[in-house]
Amino acid sequence: MQAKTLIRAEGLTKQYGTQTVVHDVSFDIEHGEILGLVGESGSGKSTVARMLLKLIEPTSGAVHFDGIDVLHAPTSELRHLRRRMQIVFQDPYAALNPRMRVRQILAEPFHIHKQALHGAELEAKLIDLLDEVQLGHSALSRYPHEFSGGQRQRINIARALALRPEFLVLDEPVSALDVSVGAQIINLLRDLQKAHGLTCLFISHSMPLVRYLCDRVAVMQRGSIVEMGEAVSLCENPQQPYTQALIAATPEFSVK
Ligand SMILES: Nc1ncnc2c1ncn2[C@@H]1O[C@H](COP(=O)(O)OP(=O)(O)OP(=O)(O)O)[C@@H](O)[C@H]1O
């Protein structure tokens, strides 16, 4: 298959007052590729992700999604784009409305995007989503607090997949979970990514995790990308002292 760029970030910069928290960040993500974005806390990873999705406005720079200028897209086009790009946040507790049953949580994206699905048709979609994240169908009538952290993250992933996005931002999706539960979620994400040919930006503190999951990796330090390359070779032969320190700081990732 010919590699083709789905997402292009060019010179993304974000300032808050006099502080520049992201400086001149550029990268491409090919169709079906997982790009890892690593760096210590506060290095600007989430800010980059939010600019890609236009959840926050960059101070300068450009984002193209499938050739469309995201930052200047008219509202109607942006609405359509939002179906194609989704995000899974770090904290599976905060991301789910505690007053909604899982049925409502999973049905919400269809309502927001005015997809007229009702009755048996909607129910079948919701059941498919639960199957995809390997949750039992009885989940539909339960509330988020009735689930473990890993199960809640599965619900978040199911919701993100509801509208069949092409691009998924995974913002530290397992950092709030136990290691073994996190490993199961990582494997689920890897399987879903392969099954749907998803393009992903995977944000993490962990170089071993990025090496396991990602095709390429960009390393961020204080708002800038300091090193970028193929994940395995970058982890085996890091050029920057900062990358070397990141690798030394994180324990091996194991799926066992
Ligand atoms: N709304 C805001 N106003 C001012 N400063 C902000 C705002 N949002 C983020 N920042 C600052 O921008 C910097 C980068 O934050 P960001 O959340 O992007 O980092 P991160 O690498 O994702 O960190 P973490 O790994 O802890 O999530 C931090 O210093 C943060 O305090």
pLDDT digits (tens, 9 = 90+) for 235-254: 999 999 999 999 888 776 65
Tell how far CA 49 is from the center of its chain.
Answer: 8
Tokens of 154: 């599965």
Atom of ligand 1 nearest to the CA of 49: 18
Q: Which CATH architecture has domain 5-249?
A: 3-Layer(aba) Sandwich (3.40)
Average pLDDT over residues 139-143: 96
Taking the centre of ligand 1 as the mean of its atom positions, its distance from the CA of residue 50, in whole angstroms, is 11
User: Is residue 246 a contact partner of residue 219, using CB atoms and an 8 Å limit?
Assistant: yes
Domain edges within the chain: 5-249
Residue 21 has a CB neighbour count (10 Å cut-off) of 17
Q: In this structure, are residues 185 and 150 in contact, taking their beta carbons and an 8 Å threshold?
A: yes
User: What ipTM was assigned to the predicted interfaces of this complex?
Assistant: 0.96
pLDDT interval class at 90 (50, 70, 90): confident
Check pocket membership of 39 for ligand 1, CB cut-off 6 A. Answer: yes
Distance 108 CA to ligand 1 centre (A): 29
What is the rounded average pLDDT of the residues 23-45?
96
pLDDT of the residue at 110: 87
Cα(22) to centroid(ligand 1), Å: 9
